[in-house]
Every structure is written in C-alpha cells, then in structure tokens.
Amino acid sequence: MIYHSISNIKFELTELIVWTMYYGNSTSTAVPPLSATIWFTFSFSILITGFLGLMFSSNFIIVIIFMELVFLGAGLTSIGTSWFLFDITGQIYALLFLVIAAVESVIGLSLFVSLYRQSGTIDIYTSTSLRY
C-alpha cells in the first residue's frame, strides 16, 4: 500500500489506535467493552440509591455518604455519555462533580463537628442548634 501523504498515514494510525482501544486486540481474551445499557443502568442505580438514602436517613454522616453516591452516579452518567458519544465534555463535567463532591465533604464534615460539639448528637432531626 502506497501512502501519498503524511496526513493519510496519521489518519490510518489514529483509526487503528482508536479501534484497538475500543475493541481491544482481536487475538487476546480481553473483556469486551460495556454496552450503554449496562453502563447507564449501573450509574442510575447508584444515583437512585443515593437519592433514596438521602430521603430516609437521619444520621448526618450517612447523609454525607449518600450525597457522595449522588455525585458519583452523576459523574458516571456523564463519563458514560462522553464515552459513547466520543466527546470529552462529559469527562470534564465528571471532574467538576468530583471537585464539588470534595468541597461538599469538607463543608459537611465541618458542620458535623460543629453540630456534635453543640448538641452532643449527630441526629439531624433532634438537633436544631445550627438554625439560630
């Protein structure tokens, strides 16, 4: 095969690399890539678990953990969308979700320490001292 330009060679190599990254080596016994249905079912189940935990828990630490699950589910959804649409913006949004989740954890844990010092309990419904 004769190549007439460098750009044609670059295109062929890029296509080979993308195909190998997506489908794997045909001679290896690699695990096939996840389908969109499996990926989004997994990410939405994590998201729904987080929302249900937020609705039904009264322990402050458990609420923070379930908030982290909500951010994780949203991040996995955006990563899956960017992977299946071959777009990088979903991965950038996932990094943004990770930063927001980290800041939320720091603020939540500082509120937890303040709440525990004032009331001696971490139950959300019995402690109202941070309102005033």
Question: pTM of this prediction?
Answer: 0.65
pLDDT (0 to 100) of residue 47: 92
Whole-number Å distance between alpha carbons of 84 and 13? 21
For 73-100, what is the mean pLDDT? 88
Between 16 and 83, name the one with better pLDDT. Answer: 83
The total number of structural domains that make up the chain = 2
**Whether 65 and 130 share a structural domain:** yes
In the beta sheet, which residues pair with residue 123? 59
Q: Is pLDDT of 49 > 90?
A: yes
Q: Is residue 53 within 8 Å of residue 45, measured between CB atoms?
A: no
Domain that includes residue 12, residue range:
1-33
**Whether 64 and 123 share a structural domain:** yes
Between 24 and 68, name the one with better pLDDT. Answer: 68
Residue 121, phi-psi category: left (phi > 0), alpha (psi -120 to 50), beta (remainder) = beta
